[in-house]
Amino acid sequence: MASTSAFFSALLSVICSAFVLRRPCEAQSLRRCQFDTIYQLGDSTSDTGNLIHESPIGAASPCGRLPYGQDFPGRQVTGRCSNGLLMIDYLSLAAGVPSPDYYLNRSAAFARGHGVNFAVAGATALPLHVLAQMNISNPATNSSLSTQLDWMFSYFNSICFDRADCVRKLEHALFMVGEIGGSDYYYALFQGKSVEEVKDLVPQVVMSIKDAVQRVIGYGASRVVVPGNFPIGCFPIYLARFETHHQSAYDGSHCLKDLNGLAAFHNGLLQEVIGELGRENQDVIILYGDYYNAFASMYHGGPYFGFDMLRAQKACCGSGGDYNFNPNRRCGTPDMAVCHDPGKAVSWDGIHVTQRAYFVMTNWLVHDLWPKLKCNASLIGN
């Protein structure tokens, strides 16, 4: 494991020297927080292998075969739904800790000093039976947020004698609760629900995330980051599905206003809940992870970060139409074309962004979180 960590650290140095950032490699300042582990809950934006090892259905996911992973070290297919590293990988590099092993990795040497990634691609914040009551199904996985929390509970039971022991062992841990909820809205929208109908779902999704934060605090978490949703109206899959000739439906960046409004509505409620949780748990630092503005900053500063904005709304790996996205022939199908330079692309497959985009967004996110983490506070032992 040490060699992998050293390799990733070297990789970060290469990436930092290869690209000019507004605050070059400032993400490395996160090392001063002295985190020793990261625990991740979430969906395909952070899954590093659980879905493809969960079931035969998961094993058939396109994320489990090339060209996914083509730019990962060793051109390795890992189950990450991108061409390479994800935000959790870059966050781990910034913190100076190994990227957490996915929970279903039976060969992983889970031990103190090495976090665990419970995220599952396609996972929803709401349990399947709750979604079913609203005629919404999840064809990808049964492992909703509650299942991931059960996995986490089982894992902590295996390494802790009691809660006091867990509190000690988790003193220097960072918990990432999400991004989660995006799949709930995706399934609802693509199964015929209107944006207004999906908005009615938001309070339940946010309450599910609140319950998850309360549970991880109960396990002993002292620092928790709860990411919000991305501006989905800028993503090719949504632009292709909800394309319209009414120009009033688009903002100045040609993103769908209603869908970005849905994400903003979710994020607003989520921030209110995080504020409530903070007041109820004043000995715990609970922060909102602003993925929306991390994406927006990257998007609006695209040329500065080396992105080709002429194809910013086109999938790098895909085919057909204005957005290079065909739902019937997605990335991962045989002989699918991949753009020449994914490092200049924002969107990887129309649904997820590229490794380069994740890197830029993580740099923004760490700069935003760093002063709020209060890493010189007594919680971290300094």
DSSP strand pairing (223-227 vs 285-289): parallel
Order across the sheet with 223-227: list the strands.
101-102, 116-117, 37-41, 173-177, 223-227, 285-289
d(CA 202, CA 130): 13
State yes or no: is 352 an active-site residue. yes
State yes or no: is 349 an active-site residue. yes
State yes or no: is 44 an active-site residue. yes
DSSP class of 256: B
Closest by Cα among 299, 282, 283 to 291 = 299
DSSP strand pairing (116-117 vs 101-102): parallel
3-state secondary structure of 345: coil
Q: Which of 36, 44, 101, 144 is catalytic?
A: 44
Positions of E strands within the chain: 37-41, 101-102, 116-117, 173-177, 223-227, 285-289
Alpha carbons within 13 angstroms on the beta-carbon side of residue 277 total 29
Closest by Cα among 279, 96, 273, 280 to 172 = 96
d(CA 255, CA 9): 36
Q: Which of 114, 172, 266, 352 is catalytic?
A: 352
Q: Which of 43, 47, 89, 349 is catalytic?
A: 349
Q: Are 87 and 46 in contact (CB under 8 A)?
A: yes
Active site residues: 44, 349, 352
